[in-house]
Amino acid sequence: MQDGKEKREEKPVNAEQVLRTLAERWRGAVTLEYRSQLVLSHQGEAGLRGELTVRLRRPNLARIEISVDNPEACGLRVCDGRVIWQRNRKVPLRPARTQRHGFQTTVMAGVAHPLDEAAYSVDQFLAPQPFRLTGSGVERSATQRKDSKDKEREVFVVVQTQATSRDTLTLDAKTYAPLRLVRVGDHGGTVQELLREEFQGVVLGGALPASLFRWTPEDEARQ
């Protein structure tokens, strides 16, 4: 009986409308900040756990703290709109070092494996159509229901499939804040979960001054 009740409480909604409203909300905000807990998985690798602390300002400013189980992947990335700085954390046999390159298309361009999957979410705020799979053959569906982790919260669950890829995005039904993203895809000939990300403390339109997105001597001295 309980399963039937839960099924009745889940109702289909228009996936295109949900994604359009998400895009409108985000385009209307100058800034975005959030933390995310993530698990990255690839063929032959155990799940890599970590956290991103993300602060973004339109049109292309960013300050991102990366902290994951793999010390070599930890560090800081800052984009001032013209230049992207990436400083990796000091690890045994390798000092901390700073790399820099000109901004071209996305603030997370060139992020090394295995963090390339996690880079996807960061750039969605600055994308014209956030969290929308592009290309041919994309099928979309959406439902509204109670959140599996918070029964007091209504959520939208948007599923997008394209060949062997599937994105499942959970959004707060009132604020359209992202709560969870699960990406499934082909890696080395195996279809598997590649990314599971949970978003926390999402704030749209907060006070993030432009000075926050400048590379500083303190950044350069980080170990």
Q: For 184-211, write each residue's pLDDT tens digit.
A: 998 778 888 999 999 999 999 999 999 9
The string of DSSP letters for the chain reads: -HHHHHHHH-EEE-HHHHHHHHHHHHHT-SEEEEEEEEEEEETTEEEEEEEEEEEEETTTEEEEEEEESSGGG-EEEEEESSEEEEEEPPBTTB--EEEEEE--S-TTTTPPTTTHHHHHHHTTTTSSSTT---STT-EEEEEEEE-SS-TT-EEEEEEEEETTEEEEEEEETTT--EEEEEEEEEETTEEEEEEEEEEEEEEES----GGGGS--HHHHT--
- Please state the rounded mean pLDDT for residues 6-11: 71
Query: How confident is the model at residue 4, as a pLDDT?
Result: 53
Averaged pLDDT score across all residues of the chain? 91
CA 45, distance to chain mean position in Å, is: 21
Query: How confident is the model at residue 99, as a pLDDT?
Result: 94
Angle at 193 between CA 122 and CA 48, to 5 degrees: 65
Query: How confident is the model at residue 2, as a pLDDT?
Result: 53
Query: How confident is the model at residue 1, as a pLDDT?
Result: 45
- Is the pLDDT higher at 42 or at 14? 14
Reported as a pLDDT band with limits 50, 70 and 90, residue 91 is: confident
High-pLDDT (> 90) share of the chain, %:
73
CA 169, distance to chain mean position in Å, is: 11
Does the global pTM surpass 0.75? yes
